[in-house]
Amino acid sequence: MLPSLHDDFLVAYEVNCEARQIKLYAKPDTRAPRNEKWTTCTIVFNGVEGYQFEHDAFGNIIYSLDAVPVEQLLTEFGSQIAESYRMGGAPGPWAADLASAGQMLVAMGVRGFILSSSYGLSGWVLAKEALVEQT
């Protein structure tokens, strides 16, 4: 289960293409009361099949990070995915046919994740798992 990252600062993200892994590094706003005791949180996406981030403001504030059905993600971002595939082959060969992509990705164990922002970076990730590391 993903923690609430509402109003946390997204301080960095890391994409490892070879390992097919993405890490999001967040830290809470120390001015806001929180029940959680960690000072930083890293969300690690493994088995990444595609992603898109946009609007990095170098001071990003997270609204939410939600796990969603793959079909919902493809419906919401399908036109952007289709255009990205047409222009450069990204995010991968599964994007050549979005009508069957959902079934194929689900059969591979892929899940959808949507990152919404209050300010700055937002986007989506298709990955097999999302792990939470808290410190």
pLDDT of residue 38: 57
As a whole number of angstroms, the distance between CA 104 and CA 117 comes to 29
pLDDT of residue 90: 93
Please state at what angle helix 98-107 crosses helix 70-88, rounded to 10 degrees.
120
pLDDT of residue 30: 73
Q: Where are the domains of the chain?
A: 9-134
φ and ψ at 38, to 5 degrees? -80, 160
Q: Is the pTM of the predicted complex or chain greater than 0.75? A: yes
Tens digits of per-residue pLDDT, 12-36? 999 999 999 999 999 987 766 655 5
Give mean pLDDT, residues 102-120: 97
pLDDT of residue 33: 62
